[in-house]
Structure 1
Amino acid sequence: MEFARSSDRSEARLSYLFVTQSMAHLLADETLAEILAHSLAVDDADFAVTDAKVSPFATARESSSSMLAVCKRWARVGTPLLYETVVLRSTPQAQALAAALKENKPFGKMIKKLRVEGGYGAAVPKIFKLAPNITDICLNLRLFADDKVVPMYRALFDSVKPRRLVLCHAEDYFNDNKGVRFALSTLCECISNWESLRVVVLADILLDDTELPSGCSSFFDALCSASSLEEINVPQKSPNYGRSDYEDIYSRLAERSSVSIIRVGWPVLATDYGFTVNMKEKLSAVAQQKLCFAPPKRTISALEAVAQEVAASTVHPNFTPMADAPNGR
């Protein structure tokens, strides 16, 4: 009996896919693109996450590019969505992408967002050269001594003109090696001189020069000297510093930088050892005006929780409903 029901479901699914594909030609390209984007597009929240100890892209998922093999029209409409956001997690991936872009130069022009999660050698500068339209670049600063960092950062300033720079760092310290020092110093130069740069997203450990490896340029000074910068975003859920250092650093940053807004990931009222602390009242007047705090965390209903699970399942193919729920006995 169960086998019969499974067979019926399989036949129904095949019929649905046949009807869907046969009717797809009736959709406008824009409508088809909206549909394909659910599987091909990368969520910006995942692309720009800065404080996750495990990358949101670390879990293996089914390849979404297989959708492009359905028909020529799907390939034509879906290819720009596939290449719009690129995430590199290894040297072989970087080498494969560089080779693909060399053979198909129009694909490189489709890349708008590039996330590089390590030091991947000479292939990355080749990607920079073949992808002239990058507006958002995300770089991971958890670098190790054997990471091939120098080629990418040596080419960074001249090859990329981003509007948004995202810097990932989930630890409360930096590895002290040549690659990290070179990366941080190069980024300071880029931030100070990129005329295209409007938004910097970073962990606030970068704002305290005493936390940086010895010999590095000052990130704080670089942010303050960036005349084209409009917004600084610190998305972590709590500041990295004690109360007095927090007030001093953010007050000075607000007063010295040209940005009109500093977004932070914590609410105005925070809980510290059971006490409610106002994170705004002792900041300078300029900082109180510029800092934009996160809204207070809201308790969601059971129905909203289910809705969020359903939404997550449409984005992540390997999503398992109620995976974190305890086993009932």
Structure 2
Amino acid sequence: MPCINDVLPTELLDQILESYFQHTEDYRFSMMAANHPTYTGANALLTCREWRQIGTPHLYESVELRSSTQTAALARTFRKKPQLASRVKLLRVEGAFGPALGEIGELCAASVECLSLSLDVRGEDLQGYERMLAKLSPRHVTILGDSEGFTLWEPIVAVLCRSIKRWGRLEYFAFPSSTDADEYGAQGDAPGTELEYSPELCKALATRATLRTVCLNGDLIDGVFALSKPILSLLSSETAPVSRLV
């Protein structure tokens, strides 16, 4: 049976695979919760050798880091093939994974547009994490999950605040989703409240003149956003002209 690449021109197959990866990864990166550890959009590359050769560069347009071992391996790959690092547009980081994380941030600095971050670092070294954030300048930032169980609350938020003040292109920021707010009632006692309405985080965001959209991710009471003082101060900032609250 002939490979589909024998029928389709290489240029057309390249466009098809680019569209496939873009649709698959855009959907995955829009999910607030952590993804299944075995989920991958790379299965299409198993079709045949030609698909793998043509589609592999598109696979690197979105990168998800889940472990120190994976992060170190990816850093080695990017050192050998920097052209792959320059393809990364969407970067999802689910922990602080050592010095290699900072190296990846440096190699991908010019290309990353969308950054999804888990702040649940569980006691890892933050040096590589902060170095990565210092090298990047994303337009779109999403904080993943909720704040329940964070072990490095103050240090990780301090790192994030310092980075936000350096991000000169930041247009969209999404706070983490509320953590089972219905179970805690309408008084805002859910564990996620502290992170969502961190005064330090709101002050850092208020310094960004490029910021246009803030996503509160469902903190609704009777159909109305429950806006705390930090959020209200952010919305009233003259420096950050936020025009959309979602």
TM-score between the two structures when normalised by the length of structure 2: 0.78
CA drift of 1:211 comes to 1.6
Pick aligned residue for 1:111 from 88, 93, 96: 88
Query: Residue 187 of structure 1 aligns with which residue?
Result: 160
C-alpha distance in structure 2 between counterparts of 1:174 and 1:240, whole Å: 23
C-alpha distance in structure 2 between counterparts of 1:69 and 1:123, whole Å: 32
**In the alignment, is residue 56 of structure 1 matched against residue 8 of structure 2?**
no
Pick aligned residue for 2:120 from 125, 142, 162: 142
CA drift of 1:62 comes to 7.7
SS where residue 226 of structure 2 aligns? Answer: helix
Pick aligned residue for 2:76 from 88, 99, 119: 99
One-letter code aligned to 2:219: P
Structure 1 39/70 Cα, relative in aligned 2: closer, same or farther at 3 Å? farther
CA contact (8 A) 2:3 2:48 kept: no
Query: Residue 182 of structure 2 aligns with which residue?
Result: none
Query: Residue 21 of structure 1 aligns with which residue?
Result: 5
Within a 5 Å distance, the mapping from 1:274-289 to structure 2 comes to: none
Q: Which has the higher contact order (CA 8 A, sep 6+)?
A: 2
C-alpha distance in structure 1 between counterparts of 2:193 and 2:49, whole Å: 55
How many aligned positions are there?
229
What RMSD over aligned residues (CA atoms) do the two structures have, in Å? 3.3
Query: Residue 275 of structure 1 aligns with which residue?
Result: none
Deviations 1:1-20 (A, max 9, x none): xxxxxxxxxxxxxx4xx262
Query: Residue 241 of structure 2 aligns with which residue?
Result: 259
Deviations 1:256-282 (A, max 9, x none): 262343332xxxxxxxxxxxxxxxxxx
C-alpha distance in structure 1 between counterparts of 2:40 and 2:56, whole Å: 18
C-alpha distance in structure 2 between counterparts of 1:154 and 1:62, whole Å: 28
Query: Residue 187 of structure 2 aligns with which residue?
Result: none
Deviations 1:94-153 (A, max 9, x none): 0110011111111111111111111111111111122231111111012212x2333221
Structure 1 92/68 Cα, relative in aligned 2: closer, same or farther at 3 Å? farther
Deviations 1:237-263 (A, max 9, x none): x31779999144454432226234333
C-alpha distance in structure 2 between counterparts of 1:94 and 1:198, whole Å: 27
C-alpha distance in structure 2 between counterparts of 1:134 and 1:169, whole Å: 21
CA drift of 1:195 comes to 1.1
SS where residue 43 of structure 1 aligns? Answer: helix
SS where residue 92 of structure 1 aligns? Answer: helix
Which ranges of structure 2 fall in alignment gaps of 5 or more residues? 179-190
CA contact (8 A) 1:40 1:64 kept: no
One-letter code aligned to 2:114: D
CA contact (8 A) 2:21 2:41 kept: no
C-alpha distance in structure 1 between counterparts of 2:45 and 2:227, whole Å: 51
Which ranges of structure 1 fall in alignment gaps of 5 or more residues? 1-14, 265-329
CA contact (8 A) 2:45 2:55 kept: no
Query: Residue 316 of structure 1 aligns with which residue?
Result: none
